[in-house]
Amino acid sequence: MNVAVVGAQWGDEGKGKVVDIYSASAKYIVRFQGGNNAGHTLVVNGKKTVLHLIPSGILHPGKICLIANGVVFDPKVFFEEVEQLETAGALTAPAHEVIRVSERAHVILPFHRLLDRLREEHAAKDKIGTTVRGIGPAYEDKVARRGIQVIDLMHEDVLFKKLKSAIEEKNILLKHYFREPEIEIAPLFEECKRLGEKLKPFVTDVRGLLIKALAAKQPILFEGAQGTLLDVDHGTYPFVTSSSTIAGGIMTGCGVGAQAVSQVIGITKAYTTRVGTGPFPTEIEETEPDTAQLIRKIGTEFGATTGRPRRIGWLDLVALKYAAEVNGLTGIALTKADVLNDFKELKLCTAYRLGASTLHELPSSISDLEALCPYYETIPGWGHYDAAKIKSLRELPAELQNFITRIEKFVGVPVVLLSTGPGREETLIVKDPFSEV
């Protein structure tokens, strides 16, 4: 039984915590897309760990964490994270035994970070709002067939040739467009060789390893990063990330067939947030600024990667239904319900108004998305209750049960996990996806 966890909104849904919980049942935990622009915050025994690249399953002993082909891999960040985990005493075995990196993953180099920053600075008000970690430029090079893969770091002649042609082109851009100093190949070549040498013990054929794990029926957890509405094909383009964040990204990112994934769990908060620019139909920053401020404060809605305040809005059921379709969700993990405790009433978006029309689906055009006006259903809040005493959905306050049922009915997917706090213990597992047949 293999399970995928994907963000069903614009990221920051609390995937880190859910992946951490499901990791207990898995042998392998796999990142299949994105790079260190993910920011998973885990709280275990009151201790906070933020991971950007290494799968969140790493905090469980005996698990093997994989970074698959579809990830863009920053070796510098990787070694920083490994060191952070080692210093925290979080690893129960040598790092290279529990973390494996695909030889085919594309490498993020310093010039990718530089170009990411320069593009965002030059875009001024048309910024995408990237994390400026070089993710987009690294994916660009990959698709343009001029990327450098992990395996290239271990082959000096290939590495030099690829670096040379990459740098020649980047230097034209740097010198003539951005008016910045050019890159020198020699120090970068030396640094890449050094990192390649250091990486050797971690590097493997991750795809092959997964195929063997599948044949041996060892449980696998696929860990998505960012969220469905940030998917490069199915998100609110161009305000998206550069990879396939949806469940389909597992097939391309890992090189395993669709039958490799049996359950797809979409993570959604009980409300919505979005970092950076781009359309956000249920945003309440202007219409209900006090409520937005309150949710941001209670939910500590500030980016784990960038520290940016997240934009706040009500839960958008139309967008969630879209996420369910795009990913083929089999379950929903509802997080941060506790943030809305004691709210007198809550809103759920069930349709949009666009001019004189009522829409029941997300439109494709970015200007239509920006012009949408949500239709809300207002429902009573659930006050306060002792989450620690709750062992089943039926024991929840009636209003919270009603909130959950409304989501399930609208989206057509059951809520299989309810999270009511950042800690592992603050979780109600309604149905364990690893035990589903």
Q: Which stretch binds ligand GDP (CB under 6 A): 107-115, 173-181, 277-285, 418-426?
A: 418-426
Does 31 help bind ligand GDP (rule: CB under 6 A)?
no
Task: Please work out the total of residues on this chain that contact ligand GDP, with binding judged by CB under 6 A.
Answer: 23
Which of 66/209 has CB closer to ligand GDP?
66
Does 33 help bind ligand GDP (rule: CB under 6 A)?
no
Which of 135/192 has CB closer to ligand GDP?
135
SS3 159: helix
Q: Which stretch binds ligand GDP (CB under 6 A): 40-48, 98-106, 345-353, 356-364?
A: 40-48
Query: What per-residue string of b and e applies to 34-71 under the rule 16 or more CB within 10 Å gives b?
Result: bbbbbbbbbbbeeeebebbbbbbbbbbeebbbbbbbbb
Is the C-alpha dihedral spanning 332, 336, 339, 342 positive or negative?
A: positive
Phi-psi region of 192 (alpha: psi -120 to 50; beta: other; left: phi over 0): alpha
- Minimum CB separation of residue 428 from ligand GDP in Å reads 10
- Minimum CB separation of residue 301 from ligand GDP in Å reads 8
Answer for which of 421, 429, 431, 432 binds ligand GDP (CB under 6 A) is 421
Does 243 help bind ligand GDP (rule: CB under 6 A)?
no
- Which residue type is seen at 248? G
Place of tokens 């249920």: 282
Phi-psi region of 213 (alpha: psi -120 to 50; beta: other; left: phi over 0): alpha
Does 12 help bind ligand GDP (rule: CB under 6 A)?
yes
The token pair that represents 83 in the structure block: 């060191």
Q: In whole angstroms, what is the distance from residue 132 CA to residue 332 CA?
A: 31
- Which residue type is seen at 74? D
User: Which of 20, 40, 74, 141 is flagged as catalytic?
Assistant: 40
Which of 149/268 has CB closer to ligand GDP?
268
Q: What number of other Cβ atoms are within 10 A of residue 143's Cβ? A: 10
Note whether 267 and 5 are within 8 A (CB): yes
- Minimum CB separation of residue 257 from ligand GDP in Å reads 27
Q: In whole angstroms, what is the distance from residue 278 CA to residue 318 CA?
A: 17
- Minimum CB separation of residue 267 from ligand GDP in Å reads 6
- Minimum CB separation of residue 116 from ligand GDP in Å reads 19
Which of 243/420 has CB closer to ligand GDP?
420
Answer for which of 13, 20, 103, 283 binds ligand GDP (CB under 6 A) is 13
Answer for which of 17, 31, 162, 274 binds ligand GDP (CB under 6 A) is 17
- Minimum CB separation of residue 206 from ligand GDP in Å reads 22
The DSSP result for 268-317, as a single string, is EESSEEE-SSS--TTB-TTTSHHHHHHHHHHTT-B-TTT-PBPEEE-EEH
User: Which of 12, 74, 152, 231 is flagged as catalytic?
Assistant: 12
Q: In whole angstroms, what is the distance from residue 224 CA to residue 33 CA?
A: 7
Which of 103/231 has CB closer to ligand GDP?
231
Of residues 282 through 341, those in contact with ligand GDP by CB under 6 A are 299-300, 304, 335-336, 338-339
Q: In whole angstroms, what is the distance from residue 157 CA to residue 295 CA?
A: 54
Does 419 help bind ligand GDP (rule: CB under 6 A)?
yes
Is 40 annotated as catalytic?
yes
Answer for which of 291, 422, 428, 433 binds ligand GDP (CB under 6 A) is 422
- Which residue type is seen at 335? T
- Minimum CB separation of residue 40 from ligand GDP in Å reads 4
Is 12 annotated as catalytic?
yes
Q: Which residues are catalytic?
A: 12, 40
Residues that bind ligand GDP (CB under 6 A): 7, 11-17, 39-41, 43, 299-300, 304, 335-336, 338-339, 419-422
